[in-house]
Structure 1
Amino acid sequence: MPFRPVTPEKLSTAVVRQVEELILRGILRPGERLPAERELAERLGVSRPSLREAIAQLQQTGLLSARPGAGVYVADVLGSAFSPALIALFERHDEAAMDYLSFRRDMEALAAERAARLGSDTDLAVVAAIFDKMQAAHDTRDADQEAALDAQFHMAIVEASHNVVMLHMMRSMYELLRGGVFYNRQVMFRQQTTRTALLEQHRAIHDALVARDAAGSRAAVEAHLNFVERALIDQHRAERHEEIARQRLDHEMES
């Protein structure tokens, strides 16, 4: 018979499994500090020796790291798939920037579709709360705060999709996403795009999600990022035209 005796699970093993699940689900984030040992042991209902054993195992697997005199943190390696040098390289080349935007459109459209179908009411409440903050920032004309919330809004949709691979992949790209949101908005403002137009695009995404319209959510995300792409292309074209015009002007002034 295939049955084997059931053995009680060590407390440290249960702690390891719980922390791993929190990291896997994106609840504990890279760089986040764990509570102090006494507090964490009390929250988990285990002895401090059992907790120390669990933390040691998690450090050995690279999921946690200890900082002398500062505490224990979720390892930064989980959120650093792209080095600063590679991020800077992407930013300097238009081809990479457009590929990144195309990748975002594909991934976020899928995430929005999944979030509409699979996200809990609480997931969608988080998205709604961030959108409300975007509306407030828009009303007070706080452009920097509105842009920061823009990035949070898109990440909240990914989180609501409940695909842990997609979650960690997109979170590892957060610096690119955050930088891209600020850059994209600056470009579009130079193109005379209004902040109201961007807010309304996010409202369309929000409304489709709240209505649990999976196809509408996907379409709203695609429409928004298509709009961003067109604005970037128009800006690049305008910059090239301006360079040519300046060359003509310089030639006329010299002749």
Structure 2
Amino acid sequence: MPLRDALFRPVRAGNAFEETVERLMQAIRLGVVPPGERLPAERELATRLGVSRVTLREAIRSLQDAGIVESRRGRYGGTFVNAELPASLPGRRVEVPELLDALTLRTVLETGAAECAAGRSLGPGERRNLRARLAECSSAELAEYRRKDSRLHLAIAESTGSASLTGAIADVRMRVNELLERIPLLPPNLAHSNDQHELVVTRILDGDAEGARRAMAEHLDGTASLLRGFLS
């Protein structure tokens, strides 16, 4: 299978925006669509990725805002990879094994925490805390989003009643936050994350352990797609 076909294959439905960004970034980073060249036409690309043109446009707009691509009008228009891509994100280079290690550990810990929290009989204070952290994250401004997002995830960990698990999640969250600081905040992703957060918390409060695990796994997959796309 040609590399271009392998990269522009259909994405999964659960995190369509995030995976579309990941596929586009992979194609650009691997030189499949090098600087100065045009991405496939919107109709073709949406069909190959198996996403709506609205989702594709949101992904392309996010890459435009990050200075990675530009749109040109006219007969020879389209979406082009910028001739000069943004400089590497600040800090030391992230090696792929390091990235995958952090993402794997986070998935194991946080899906387990969601399942565990849903399996407990939560008290009124614990339930109020989850709802309050969810509301804070949903209404957070861009500048505060990652801090409020972290607080919600830690509140879920606290709901397990395990100080050791909460500490382990706090540690891995520090690692993941260092990685997140290297990529742009993408409003469509934040809106999607807020919807996923609400589903995770609802499953926990309903006592649906398996549903909470699945909802958390899908949420973390979306973040992982963006990190792999921008950093690996």
Q: Which TM-score band (shorter chain)?
A: 0.5 to 0.7
Structure 1 residue 131, shift from structure 2 partner: 0.7
Aligned-pair RMSD on alpha carbons?
2.4
1:200 equivalent to 2:201? Answer no
The residue that corresponds to 1:149 in the other structure is 148
Distance 2:160 2:132 in 1: 17
Question: Which of these residues, 221, 229, 232, is aligned with residue 216 of structure 2?
Answer: 221
CA contact (8 A) 1:124 1:210 kept: yes
Corresponding residue SS for 1:161: coil
The residue that corresponds to 1:168 in the other structure is 167
Distance 2:131 2:200 in 1: 10
The residue that corresponds to 1:122 in the other structure is 125
Structure 1 residue 179, shift from structure 2 partner: 2.9
The residue that corresponds to 2:12 in the other structure is none
Structure 1 residue 235, shift from structure 2 partner: 3.0
1:234 equivalent to 2:229? Answer yes
Q: Deviations over 1:94-142 (max 9, x none)?
A: 32122111111111111111111114332232111011111222xxxx1
Structure 2 residue runs without a partner (length 5+) = 1-90
Structure 1 residue runs without a partner (length 5+) = 1-87, 238-255
Distance 1:199 1:182 in 2: 19
Please list, as runs of the form range in 1=range in 2, the aligned pairs for 1:6-17 lying within 5 A after superposition: none
1:111 equivalent to 2:113? Answer yes
Normalising by structure 1, we get a TM-score of 0.49
CA contact (8 A) 1:205 1:220 kept: yes
1:96 equivalent to 2:98? Answer yes
Distance 2:231 2:168 in 1: 28
Identity of aligned residues (%): 18
Letter paired with 1:171: A
The residue that corresponds to 1:6 in the other structure is none
Normalising by structure 2, we get a TM-score of 0.54
- How many residues align? The count is 141
Corresponding residue SS for 1:158: helix
Question: Which one has more relative contact order, counting CA pairs under 8 Å at least 6 apart?
Answer: 2
CA contact (8 A) 2:105 2:172 kept: no
Distance 2:150 2:179 in 1: 9
Q: 1:120 to 1:153 in 2, by over 3 A?
A: same
Distance 1:173 1:235 in 2: 19
